[in-house]
Copies of this chain bind each other. A is one copy, B any other.
Amino acid sequence: MAENQNPPKQKPVQNAISPRRADDFPEWYQSVVTAADMAENSDVRGCMVIKPWGYGIWELMQAQLDKMFKATGHKNAYFPLFIPLSYLEKEAEHVAGFAKECAVVTHHRLEAGSDGKLIPTGKLAEPLVVRPTSETIIGAAYAKWIQSYRDLPLLLNQWANVVRWEMRPRIFLRTTEFLWQEGHTAHETEEQALEETRRMLDVYQNFVRDHLAIPVITGRKSAGERFPGAVDTLCIEAMVQDRKAVQAGTSHFLGQNFAKASGIQYLSREGKKEYAWTTSWGVSTRLIGTLIMAHGDDDGLVLPPRVAPTQVVIIPIIPKDEQRKEILKACGAVAEQIEAELFHKENIRVEVDQRDIQGGVKTWEWIKKGVPIRVEIGPRDLEAGTVFVGRRDKGPKDKQSYPKEGFAAQVPGLLQSIQEAIYDRALAFRHENTKVIESKEEFYAYFTPKNEEKPEIHGGFALAHWNGSPEIEAKIKEDLKVTIRCIPFEEMQQPGKCIFTGEKSEQRVVFAKSY
Contacts and interface: CB of A to CB of B under 8 A. Distances in A.
Interface stretch (A95-103, A311-319, A396-404): A95-103
A75 interface: yes
Interface in A11-61: 40, 42-44, 47-52, 55-56, 58-59
A153 to B, nearest CB: 13
B99 A82 contact: no
A179 interface: yes
Interface residues of A toward B: which range?
35 or more
A68 interface: no
Interface stretch (A123-131, A214-222, A275-283, A447-455): A123-131
Interface in A164-198: 165, 177, 179
A444 interface: no
A389 interface: no
A491 interface: no
Given A95-B118, A104-B105, A120-B104, A80 B49 contact: yes
A111 interface: yes
Interface in A123-155: 127-130, 137, 140-141
Nearest to A124: B103
Contacts of A161: 81, 160-161
B99 A140 contact: no
Nearest to A52: B75
A44 B80 contact: yes
Interface string A77-110: 1111111110111000001000111111111111
Interface of A: 40, 42-44, 47-52, 55-56, 58-59, 75-85, 87-89, 95, 99-111, 117-118, 120, 122, 127-130, 137, 140-141, 156, 160-161, 163, 165, 177, 179
